[in-house]
Amino acid sequence: MAEKEGFRVYNSMAQQKEIFNTLVPGRVGMYVCGVTAYDLSHIGHARAAVTFDVLYRYLQYLGYEVTYVRNFTDVDDKIIRRANELGEEPLNLSNRFCQEYLVDMADLQCLTPTHQPRVSEHMEQIKDMITQIINNDSAYAVDGDVYFSVDKSPNYGQLSGQKLENNRAGERVAVDTRKRNPADFALWKAAKPDEPSWDSPWGPGRPGWHIECSAMSAHYLSYSFDIHGGGIDLIFPHHENEIAQSCAACQESRVSYWMHNGHVTNNNEKMSKSLGNFFTIRQITERYHPLALRLFLLSAHYRSPLNYTVLQLESASDAVYYIYQTLQDCEDALSPFQQESLKEGPERKSKTARVTPAAQECISKLRSEFQSKMSDDLNTAQILTCAFQEALKFINSSLNILKKKQQKQQLSVVQSLIELEKEVKAVLNILGLLSSSTYLEVLLQLKDKALTRAGLEESYVLNQIEERKLARENKDFLKSDQIRAALTLKGIALMDVGKETIWRPCIPVEPVQPAQPVEQEHKTLPVEQKTGTTG
End-to-end CA distance of the chain: 34
> Does 133 share its domain with 278?
yes
Residue 368 resides in a domain: yes
Contacts with 69 (C-beta within 8 Å, 6 or more apart), sequence order: 29, 30, 31, 32, 113, 114, 115, 116, 117, 216, 217, 220, 221
Q: 351 and 477, same structural domain? A: no
Give residue 13's pLDDT: 98
Residue 426's Cβ-side half-sphere holds a number of Cα atoms within 13 Å equal to 18
Among 402, 437, 472, where does a domain finish?
A: 437
Residue-range definition of the domain harbouring residue 280: 8-286
| Residues whose CB is less than 8 angstroms from the CB of residue 197 and which lie 6 or more positions away in sequence, other chains included | 191, 204, 205, 206
Let me know if residue 311 belongs to a domain. Answer: no
- Asked if residue 493 is part of any domain, the answer here is yes
pLDDT, position 527: 29
CB neighbour list of residue 266: distance below 8 Å, 6 or more residues apart = 275, 277, 278, 279, 307, 308, 309
pLDDT band at 510 (very low <50, low <70, confident <90, very high): low
Phi, psi angles (nearest 5°) of residue 38: -135, 5
C-alpha closest to that of 104 among 163, 175, 192, 45:
45
- Is 19 contained in some domain? yes
Q: How confident is the model at residue 342 (pLDDT cuts 50, 70, 90)?
A: low
110 inside domain = yes
Helices H, strands E: what count in the chain?
15, 15
Q: How far apart are CA 409 and CA 391, in angstroms?
A: 19
Both 103 and 141 in one domain: the answer is: yes
Does any domain span residue 529?
no
pLDDT tens, residue by residue, 125-181: 999 999 999 999 999 999 999 999 999 999 999 999 987 666 554 444 456 789 999
Same domain, 466 and 415: no
Residues 53-104 have pLDDT tens digits of 999 999 999 999 999 999 999 999 999 999 999 999 999 999 999 999 999 9
Give dist(CA 451, CA 334) in Å, integer: 30
Instruction: Specify if 484 maps to a domain.
Output: yes
Q: Assign 404 a pLDDT band (cuts: 50, 70, 90).
A: confident
Give me the CATH number covering residue 272. Answer: 3.40.50.620
Closest CA to 249 of 286, 281, 279, 215: 215
Short-list 55, 484, 498, CA closest to 261: 55
Domain shared by 220 and 339, yes or no = no
Which range (228-242, 258-272, 518-532) has the least confidence? 518-532
Query: CB neighbours of 121 closer than 8 A, spacing ≥ 6?
Result: none
* DSSP classification of residue 198: B
Last residue of a domain, one of 271, 286, 301: 286
Residue 351 has pLDDT above 60, yes or no: no
- The total number of structural domains in the chain stands at 3
Asked if 143 and 194 sit in the same domain, the reply is yes
The answer to whether residues 271 and 420 belong to one domain is no
Task: Tell whether 55 and 160 lie within a shared domain.
Answer: yes
Q: Does residue 242 share a domain with residue 149? A: yes
Measured between alpha carbons, how far is 532 from 271 in angstroms, rounded to an integer? Answer: 11
Last residue in a domain, options 389, 411, 437:
437
| Full-model pTM | 0.91
Same domain, 207 and 235: yes
pLDDT in tens, 171-214: 444 567 899 999 999 999 999 998 999 999 999 999 999 999 99
Contacts of 406 (CB under 8 A, 6+ apart): none
Mean pLDDT score of the chain: 90
Shared domain check, 462 and 419: no
190 and 219 Cβ atoms separated by less than 8 Å = no
Structure confidence at residue 14 (pLDDT) = 98
The backbone torsions φ and ψ at residue 37, rounded to the nearest 5 degrees and listed phi first, read: -90, 85
Report d(CA 238, CA 233) in Å as an integer. Answer: 9
In the three-class reduction of DSSP (H, G, I as helix; E, B as strand; rest coil), residue 366 is classed as helix
Residue 42 covered by a domain: yes
Q: Does residue 380 share a domain with residue 232? A: no
